[in-house]
A and B are shown apart, each in its own frame.
Chain A
Amino acid sequence: MMRITKYVLTDILRNKTLIVYTLLLFLLSFSVFSLEDNPTKGVLSILNLLLIIVPLISSIFTTIYIYNSSEFIELLVSQPVKRSSIWMSIYFGLASSLSLAFIIGAGIVTLIYQPDSTGFFLILSGVLLSLIFCSIAMLTSVYNRDKAKGIGASILTWLYFSLLFDGILVFLLFQFSDYPIEKAMMTLSMLNPIDLARILILLKLDVSALMGYTGALFRSFFGNASGQTISFLVLAIWFLLPFLISLRKFKHKDL
């Protein structure tokens, strides 16, 4: 497995897209921090940017990479190599290089301007989002044989998590505003990793007061140590579960 991982990693690191992604993150975070005189505001602006960019790039890059390496996969499957180790090597290669790109691009700048636990949380959620959307993209691409369909599906999942889900949430909030639905909303937000990451950082930044009563509720839940642990566990489930399902599918796939 190590040998395949090495090949996948060298292949990805030579890829220009990833270098452009790193540079983009670097330029964005650097310019945002230089524009804002208050680094906390900078973290907020960067948060909004990375919640859009990281999931988008992670899922599209992963999908395209999987389809482009279909030849490589086919070549390996006829060799004495375990199917699961092929798939795991690819995930490991993709996830680690996407996280590395994020840490180099946005992480270092963040740590320079905001060298505290908030900055650390920002980096951690960026890395987690990279892992999560990488594994969701692997799931969508293992189920679609057609490349165009696969890329379409991964764009749709991104759109769903970053826009549509919030729309549905707001809709529910207005429809049921007469009822005590705060607990239900909290549970629902667990169903979206992007929301979960956003809430974690907002609470860390202490701007949750802006979120009103719900914010207070979120604070009482997420703010304490056990709330944070639970949300990290949920985020961990978010990258493990899609990957494990895709692994199971890949083991029995016709190639």
Chain B
Amino acid sequence: MISIENISKSFGKQEVLKNISVKMNSNECIALIGPNGSGKTTLIKSVLGMVPVVKGKILIDNVSIEGNYQYRSLIGYMPQIGRYPDNMNIGQVINLMKNIRGNQTSFDETLIDDFNLRAIYGKKMSTLSGGTRQKVSACIAFLFNPHVLILDEPTAGLDPLSSEILKNKILVEKAKGKLIIITSHVLSELEDLITRVIYMQDGNIRIDAFLNDLLLQTGENKLGKIISKALN
């Protein structure tokens, strides 16, 4: 599905991604974890083309993303901090998103209903709380029923109830055989979702293994402990 080949990226003198290669396939749910500033978000953004990479290649379904933009219709992206035009309301933002992908007519609006967003469609984006913004971001990511879901810190700022709704939605999509990539610092909530762990540090991939293998290898059952054992 997604094949990343030897990509490097620097912001000025700071090298954020150092020669990273990784393959991600459908039917996987990948936890992309690592300390702050380890390059997780940059890796995600380079797949989305928000941060163009000069060195290395990124292929999606064996097609290079360079100079290509159509491939983004395969991806649903939920950013870490959703930034939206202040003067638009929730309904307008969602309509704008639908409008941009004019050729698609069927939408997955289950999350909009589950989060009960329709009741507050008229609220301006500038007045929303951080959690409600996250809900809007989540709804947009799932709206187009994409093959790949990239969720950057999906539950940060969500209340426990909404967080549970989102997790259930992720499980439903996982069952459909999609590729799901989640970054998070709250390891405990990832445990029942993921099948594979990628641990990044200082722009390198330190661990890339299936969860089942790691469980056997380390003999632990908590993700936090598994990671710290696997690193030593």
B69 touches A3 (CB 8 A): no
Which candidate, A78-86, A149-157, A206-214, is the interface stretch facing chain B? A78-86
Partner of A80, one of B11, B50, B51, B69: B69
Given that A11-B85, A74-B83, A75-B84 are known contacts, is A80 also in contact with B48, CB under 8 Å in the complex? Answer: no
B86 touches A80 (CB 8 A): no
Most buried by B among A74, A80, A81: A80
Which candidate, A23-31, A65-73, A196-204, is the interface stretch facing chain B? A65-73
Whole-angstrom CA separation of A235 from B84 in the bound complex: 36
| B121 close to chain A: CB less than 8 A | no
Given that A74-B50, A252-B52, A254-B51 are known contacts, is A80 also in contact with B96, CB under 8 Å in the complex? Answer: no
Whole-angstrom CA separation of A77 from B11 in the bound complex: 19
> A1-43 interface mask toward B, CB cutoff 8 Å, 1 = contact, 0 = none?
0011001000100100000000000000000000000000000
Given that A3-B102, A252-B52, A254-B51 are known contacts, is A79 also in contact with B97, CB under 8 Å in the complex? Answer: yes
Whole-angstrom CA separation of A81 from B87 in the bound complex: 22
Tier of interface size on chain B: 20 to 34
Whole-angstrom CA separation of A119 from B84 in the bound complex: 43
B83 touches A4 (CB 8 A): no
| B175 close to chain A: CB less than 8 A | no
How far apart are A64's CB and chain B's nearest CB, in angstroms?
13
B100 touches A76 (CB 8 A): yes
A69 touches B85 (CB 8 A): yes
Most buried by A among B11, B49, B85: B85
Q: Which residues on B sit within 8 Å (CB–CB) of A255?
A: 45, 50-51
Give chain A interface residues in 85-126, CB to chain B under 8 Å. Answer: none
Partner of B72, one of A3, A14, A78: A78
Q: Which residues on B sit within 8 Å (CB–CB) of A4?
A: 100
| B13 close to chain A: CB less than 8 A | no
A7 touches B96 (CB 8 A): yes
Tier of interface size on chain A: 20 to 34
How far apart are A107's CB and chain B's nearest CB, in angstroms?
28
Given that A254-B11, A254-B52 are known contacts, is A80 also in contact with B79, CB under 8 Å in the complex? Answer: no
| B218 close to chain A: CB less than 8 A | no
Q: Which residues on A sit within 8 Å (CB–CB) of B100?
A: 3-4, 76, 79-81
Minimum CB distance partner of B49 in chain A? A77
Q: Which residues on A sit within 8 Å (CB–CB) of B77?
A: 78
Q: Which residues on A sit within 8 Å (CB–CB) of B93?
A: 75
Whole-angstrom CA separation of A129 from B31 in the bound complex: 53
B50 touches A78 (CB 8 A): yes
Give chain B interface residues in 17-52, CB to chain A under 8 Å. Answer: 45, 48-52
Minimum CB distance partner of A6 in chain B? B99
Whole-angstrom CA separation of A11 from B2 in the bound complex: 37
B85 touches A80 (CB 8 A): no
Whole-angstrom CA separation of A252 from B101 in the bound complex: 23
How far apart are B93's CB and chain A's nearest CB, in angstroms?
8
| B212 close to chain A: CB less than 8 A | no
Name B's A-contacting residues (CB within 8 A).
11, 45, 48-52, 69-73, 75, 77, 79, 83-87, 93, 96-97, 99-102
- Contact sample, A vs B, 8 pairs, CB 8 Å cutoff: A3-B102, A14-B87, A72-B85, A74-B79, A75-B83, A79-B97, A80-B73, A81-B72
12 other A-B residue contacts (CB within 8 Å) besides A77-B50, A251-B52? A11-B85, A74-B50, A75-B84, A75-B85, A78-B79, A79-B72, A79-B101, A80-B69, A80-B101, A252-B52, A254-B51, A255-B51
Q: Which 7 A-B pairs have the closest CB atoms?
A: A71-B83, A80-B73, A80-B72, A72-B85, A255-B50, A254-B51, A78-B77
